[in-house]
Amino acid sequence: MPVSWISSVGVGIEVDREMSKSGALDLATGVGGKIKKEDVQSAVEQYEKYHVCFGGGEETRKANYSDMVNKYYDLATSFYEFGWGESFHFAPRWKGESLRESIKRHEHFLALQLGLKPGMKVLDVGCGIGGPLREIARFSSTSITGLNNNEYQISRGRELNRVAGLSESCNFVKADFMKMPFPDNSFDGIYAIEATCHAPDAVGCYKEIYRVLKPGQRFAVYEWCMTDHFDPDNESHQKTKAEIELGNGLPDIRTTKQCLDALKLAGFEVISEKDLAADSPVSWYLPLDTSQFSITSFRLTSFGRFITRTMVKTLEFVGIAPAGSNRVSSFLEKAAEGLVEGGRKEIFTPMCFFLVRKPLSES
């Protein structure tokens, strides 16, 4: 899931050590994932060229989505885990609620909406390193399979499952969610958290989910969407959209209507739809907002960002972090700026919630 800028530029209001990897060396040595360290800078350059800011186009990103998204997560995952923890997503928040608490509640909400019960077989589409998978498995006593096409994230997820004692009930499958390696009607429930936004074709992705879901069962998804306030003819809006795409490995960002229409075209019955950001008492983008200051979230501040940027540059200079690490930090920071702008202008949401059902009998 694309959470965008993480702690090396200072996110994480109230993010504590329990949520993140242990420190700077973990971040530095993890940059690049499964990419050879000497090839990281070249991978950064190739990734950047897919995007508008560097002369790339939407059709190229869609045609090469698998390579683009894999490069993105190889480059960005250690930054994500260092600052955001194991669950790479946003959440609506109550006043007085910590980021960590809101993330757990957001995951529990999905489990409740799906009606998960012990013994059910569940699929997490685009599972990252499995933070939500583990939380939902513990909450619902279900068996969850995480689908992910990035080998580095799967290796991290398996290790975290082992540490959590969930290796028997939860597993990972490496595959493209546009071509899932499961038989028809395999799962009792399916969810996706800020992940299917990476799909080059929403209808094709939702059709695969429809295919592997059992008749009468539900699919719940949090989608990244441009809202009805987005004006495609507004240059400022387009700039914000391009920054979010660059910093989050996205071929395109669909509108809420496009996602809703795609779910219907895939064959689903729509139970409910809502932008959960609209009613959130605390803005979802607050962890990325540098105008906020808190001693407990020092990395969030402009000075905190300066310190962590300097740290990344230094570790790269002395050879602990691979060449190109600072460039990853830079495009993730640009993405954070785009996300905050998108949130303030109300032209973007990372939590458009759709709950749909596969009919018992297909017409």
- Beta-carbon count within 10 A of 207 CB: 16
In whole angstroms, what is the distance from residue 54 CA to residue 339 CA? 19
In whole angstroms, what is the distance from residue 156 CA to residue 27 CA? 13
Q: Is the dihedral of CA 322, 71, 232, 197 positive or negative?
A: negative
pLDDT at 303: 65
pLDDT at 363: 58
The C-alpha angle 15, 35, 311, rounded to 5 degrees, equals 40
Tell me, letter by letter, the H, E, C secondary structure of the chain: CCCCCCHHHCCCCCCCHHHCCCCHHHHHHHCCCCCCHHHHHHHHHHHHCCCHHHCCCHHHHHHCHHHHHHHHHHHHHHHHHHHHCCCCCCCCECCCCCHHHHHHHHHHHHHHHHCCCCCCEEEEECCCCCHHHHHHHHHHCCEEEEEECCHHHHHHHHHHHHHHCCCCCEEEEECCCCCCCCCCCCEEEEEEECCHHHCCCHHHHHHHHHHHEEEEEEEEEEEEEECCCCCCCCHHHHHHHHHHHHHHCCCCCCEHHHHHHHHHHCCCEEEEEEECCCCCCECCCHHHCCCCCCHHHHHHCHHHHHHHHHHHHHHHHCCCCCCCHHHHHHHHHHHHHHHHHHHHCCCEEEEEEEEEECCCCCC
pLDDT at 336: 86
pLDDT at 305: 66
Domain ranges of the chain: 35-362
pLDDT at 5: 41
- Average pLDDT by stretches of 10, the chain with 363 residues: 46 40 57 77 86 86 89 84 85 92 97 97 97 97 97 95 95 97 98 97 98 98 98 96 91 97 98 97 89 52 69 80 82 87 97 98 69
- 135, 194, 243, 316: the active-site residue: 194
Is residue 91 within 8 Å of residue 277, measured between CB atoms? Answer: no
In whole angstroms, what is the distance from residue 51 CA to residue 242 CA? 8
pLDDT at 13: 34
In whole angstroms, what is the distance from residue 197 CA to residue 253 CA? 7
Specify whether 97 is catalytic. Answer: no
Full-model pTM: 0.90
CATH architecture of 35-362: 3-Layer(aba) Sandwich (3.40)
pLDDT at 48: 84
pLDDT at 307: 74
pLDDT at 26: 61
